[in-house]
């Protein structure tokens, strides 16, 4: 392996995350860990001594992007940073990555990144630095405590892995079995985040609502109990969670949407398809009807809830009529926003070997039709907020002087001009206009923090 031009003892680093929110969270934890080791974030990513590509394996395109990025890391003068491939591609492909891309120094899976400092040392000595173990003891205990956060919002992974084995999906293989973190570890991390300035926490898990554990009195709890406990942290103003699975939408969680004011009225609940034959072939273990019944019950508890979903078009064997059922469920569910994808065959998953893979042109056409419908509903949802008065949590500065951007309870970006306000403030605004991707607001009155 040619490692001659890579730094042996990196002092600066850059983390690039490609995947889901849990992947972003992992990237943040890696960065915080390297920070406690005395390394600093490179002012300019292209000048970093160590580049960590925190990868995603969910669709083929995501994987291709990683390899093209690796190629681009070698600079014009022939030097390059030390390169680590972390995340789900690392888990899925292991040392194969180094055969395909010889400049990769470190390969570290999503359950092993607490060992990154050691792997950096090994790579510096020119030793093998591949770690895709899924150790029994969770990495979380080995990571340093959360540090002060730059933003008022934070992710907090409460469970990992997936036992559902949808036939198209790599996650059960890259992330392993469902494992819930302990009640106390989660509460402690939340408190540390809030002490560090965070006002909104998004609880994360591949199936976040499958979280289960015992509280400090030994009582069995689900994610709803956990959310209610977190809501008792005074300076924590908002709680969100993602991604939830329809089969884990418990009565308790649905009820919490009705009476826990800190639980935001937003639910990301993927259904993937509106056709029962396809749902069965996907091994989703819910039907279109049972899904619609769940969202109906959530809406009874919280009528203003904003829904979001994920869809796959062109699953093997999907007929035109079956795709029409997906358009139908979108009409029925009325999402505020959605993610939709063309089916991507993933090595090792059952669906990749199924007959009747759908041609790319058919998938393109279906995706365009689905997205047109979803976009129309998104515009309608945003327009319906015009005239409302609502809290927003200010998250970042806007493009123009004095502009700040916050999020509504329904996860919409709201732009306000308010030079006197600071990031992290909660303010009440009147929504005055809506575009497809953001709203404009005016301050109603300053809310007591
Ligand atoms: N655990 C979540 C989803 C995690 S993956 C759930 O079950 O809802 C995020 C999304 O990626 C999925 O909801 C699905 O829509 C999409 N996805 C997963 N595998 C895919 C594949 N092979 N091709 C296309 N999209 C895929
Ligand atoms: Fe993948 Fe299905 Fe698990 Fe979601 S529930 S992570 S789509 S296997
Ligand atoms: Fe991608 Fe792994 Fe997340 S495959 S979607 S980064 S769990």
Query: Of the residues 384, 411, 438, which one is the last residue of a structural domain?
Result: 384
User: Based on the domain organization, do 36 and 69 belong to the same domain?
Assistant: yes
Domain encompassing residue 10: 3-131
Whether 350 lines ligand 2, by a CB cut-off of 6 Å, is: no
Q: Which tokens go with 117?
A: 């400092």
Q: What is the widest separation between alpha-carbon atoms in the chain?
A: 63
21 Cα nearest atom in ligand 3: 3
- Strand, coil or helix: 130: strand
Ligand 1 center from residue 220 Cα (angstroms): 30
Cα angle at 374 between 369 and 376, to 5 degrees? Answer: 95
Residue 445 is predicted with a pLDDT of 60
> Domain containing 191 — which CATH number?
3.30.750.210
Ligand 3 center from residue 167 Cα (angstroms): 16
390 neighbors 434 (Cβ within 8 angstroms): no
Query: Of the residues 109, 131, 153, which one is the last residue of a structural domain?
Result: 131
Give which of 3, 2, 1, 116 is closest to 53, Cα–Cα: 116
Give the C-alpha separation, 342 to 363, whole Å: 6
- Strand, coil or helix: 285: coil
Ligand 2 center from residue 162 Cα (angstroms): 6
Give which of 444, 411, 416, 409 is closest to 430, Cα–Cα: 444
User: Based on the domain organization, do 102 and 27 belong to the same domain?
Assistant: yes
Give the C-alpha separation, 27 to 87, whole Å: 9
> Domain containing 405 — which CATH number?
2.40.50.140
Q: Report the 10 Å Cβ neighbour count for 121.
A: 13
Q: Report the 10 Å Cβ neighbour count for 114.
A: 21
Burial of 88 (0-12, 13-18, 19+ CB in 10 A): buried
Residue 44 is predicted with a pLDDT of 86
- Does 194 fall in a domain? yes
Which residue of 58, 171, 285, 343 sits with most ligand 1 atoms within 8 Å of its CB, as the best mutation to test the pocket? 58
Ligand 3 center from residue 238 Cα (angstroms): 25
Whether 28 lines ligand 1, by a CB cut-off of 6 Å, is: no
User: Based on the domain organization, do 278 and 359 belong to the same domain?
Assistant: yes
- Strand, coil or helix: 163: coil
> Domain containing 61 — which CATH number?
3.40.50.12160
Residue 136 is predicted with a pLDDT of 76
- Does 137 fall in a domain? no
User: Based on the domain organization, do 44 and 97 belong to the same domain?
Assistant: yes
Residue for token digits 């009225």? 265
- Does 283 fall in a domain? yes
**CA dist list (Å): 9 to 102, 119, 308, 345:** 19, 11, 45, 39
Contacts of 144 (CB under 8 A, 6+ apart): 32, 33, 36
Residue 4 is predicted with a pLDDT of 54
Residue 76 is predicted with a pLDDT of 86
Contacts of 174 (CB under 8 A, 6+ apart): 57, 88, 91, 92, 109, 110
Q: Which tokens go with 43?
A: 């002012």
Q: How many residues does the chain have?
A: 449
> Domain containing 371 — which CATH number?
3.30.750.200
Give the strand pairing for 50-55 and 82-86: parallel
Ligand 3, CB within 6 Å, residue ranges? 19-20, 22-23, 56-58, 87-88, 170-171, 174-175
Residue 2 is predicted with a pLDDT of 46
User: Based on the domain organization, do 309 and 380 belong to the same domain?
Assistant: yes
Whether 245 lines ligand 1, by a CB cut-off of 6 Å, is: yes
- Does 34 fall in a domain? yes
Give the C-alpha separation, 12 to 119, whole Å: 16
Ligand 1 center from residue 214 Cα (angstroms): 29
Tally of domains within the chain: 4
- Does 138 fall in a domain? no
User: Based on the domain organization, do 192 and 269 belong to the same domain?
Assistant: no
Whether 175 lines ligand 2, by a CB cut-off of 6 Å, is: no
Whether 206 lines ligand 1, by a CB cut-off of 6 Å, is: yes
Ligand 3 center from residue 403 Cα (angstroms): 34
User: Based on the domain organization, do 396 and 296 belong to the same domain?
Assistant: no
User: Based on the domain organization, do 292 and 403 belong to the same domain?
Assistant: no
- Does 136 fall in a domain? no
267 neighbors 306 (Cβ within 8 angstroms): yes
Give the C-alpha separation, 379 to 373, whole Å: 10
Ligand 3 center from residue 23 Cα (angstroms): 6
- Does 139 fall in a domain? no
160 neighbors 176 (Cβ within 8 angstroms): yes
DSSP characters over 410-442: TS-EEEEE-TT--TT-EEEEEEEEE-SSEEEEE
User: Based on the domain organization, do 249 and 331 belong to the same domain?
Assistant: no
Give which of 395, 270, 383, 385 is closest to 333, Cα–Cα: 270
Residues of the chain with pLDDT under 50: 1-3, 446-449
Give the C-alpha separation, 102 to 156, whole Å: 34
User: Based on the domain organization, do 8 and 122 belong to the same domain?
Assistant: yes
User: Based on the domain organization, do 372 and 345 belong to the same domain?
Assistant: yes
Share of the chain above pLDDT 90, in %: 91
Residue 407 is predicted with a pLDDT of 98
Which residue of 57, 89, 271, 310 sits with most ligand 1 atoms within 8 Å of its CB, as the best mutation to test the pocket? 310
pLDDT digits (tens, 9 = 90+) for 80-125: 999 999 999 999 999 999 999 999 999 999 999 999 999 999 999 9
Query: Of the residues 254, 286, 317, which one is the last residue of a structural domain?
Result: 254
Give the C-alpha separation, 275 to 288, whole Å: 7
Ligand 1 center from residue 162 Cα (angstroms): 12
User: Based on the domain organization, do 346 and 401 belong to the same domain?
Assistant: no
Which residue of 17, 26, 52, 88 sits with most ligand 3 atoms within 8 Å of its CB, as the best mutation to test the pocket? 88
- Does 260 fall in a domain? no
**CA dist list (Å): 273 to 100, 161, 304, 326:** 35, 22, 24, 5
Give the strand pairing for 159-160 and 179-180: antiparallel
Ligand 3 center from residue 201 Cα (angstroms): 20
DSSP characters over 228-280: HHHTTSTT--EEEEE---GGG--HHHHHHHHH-TTB-SEEE---B-S-HHHHH
């Amino acid at each position: 392996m040619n490692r001659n031009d890579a730094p042996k003892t990196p002092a600066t680093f850059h983390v690039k995350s490609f995947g889901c929110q849990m992947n972003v969270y992992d990237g943040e934890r890696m960065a915080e860990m390297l920070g406690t080791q005395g390394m600093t974030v490179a002012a300019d990513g292209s000048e970093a001594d160590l580049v960590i590509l925190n990868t995603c394996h969910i669709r083929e395109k995501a994987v291709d992007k990683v390899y093209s990025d690796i190629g681009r890391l070698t600079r014009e003068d022939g030097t390059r940073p030390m390169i680590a491939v972390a995340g789900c591609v690392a888990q899925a492909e292991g040392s194969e990555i180094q055969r395909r891309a010889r400049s990769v120094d470190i390969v570290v899976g999503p359950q092993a990144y607490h060992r990154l400092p050691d792997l950096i040392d090994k790579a510096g000595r020119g030793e093998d630095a591949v770690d895709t173990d899924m150790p029994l003891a969770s990495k979380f205990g080995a990571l340093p405590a959360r540090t002060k956060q730059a933003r008022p919002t934070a992710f907090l992974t409460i469970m990992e892995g997936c036992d559902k084995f949808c036939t198209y999906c790599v996650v059960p293989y890259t992330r392993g079995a469902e494992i819930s973190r302990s009640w106390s570890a989660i509460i402690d991390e939340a408190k540390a985040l809030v002490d560090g300035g965070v006002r909104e926490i998004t609880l994360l898990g591949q199936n976040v609502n499958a979280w289960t554990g015992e509280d400090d009195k030994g009582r069995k709890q689900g994610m709803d109990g956990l959310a209610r406990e977190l809501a008792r942290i005074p300076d924590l103003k908002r709680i969100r969670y993602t991604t939830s699975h329809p089969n884990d939408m418990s009565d308790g969680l649905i009820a919490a949407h009705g009476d826990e004011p800190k639980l935001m009225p937003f639910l990301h609940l993927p259904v993937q398809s509106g056709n029962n034959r396809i749902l069965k072939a996907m091994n989703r273990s819910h039907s279109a009807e049972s899904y619609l019944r769940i969202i109906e019950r959530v809406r009874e508890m919280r009528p203003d809830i904003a829904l979001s979903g994920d869809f796959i078009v062109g699953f093997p064997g999907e007929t035109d009529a079956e795709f029409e059922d997906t358009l139908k469920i979108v009409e029925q569910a009325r999402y505020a926003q959605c993610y939709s994808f063309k089916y991507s065959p993933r090595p090792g998953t059952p669906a990749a070997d199924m007959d009747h893979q759908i041609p790319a042109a058919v998938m393109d056409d279906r995706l365009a039709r689905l997205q047109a419908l979803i976009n129309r509903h998104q515009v309608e949802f945003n327009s319906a907020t015009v005239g409302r008065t609502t809290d927003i949590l200010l998250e970042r500065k806007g493009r123009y002087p004095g502009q700040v951007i916050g999020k509504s309870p329904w996860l919409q970006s709201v732009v306000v001009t308010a030079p006197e306000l600071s990031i992290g403030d909660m303010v009440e605004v009147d929504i005055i206009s809506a575009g497809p991707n953001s709203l404009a607001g005016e301050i109603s009155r300053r809310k007591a923090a």
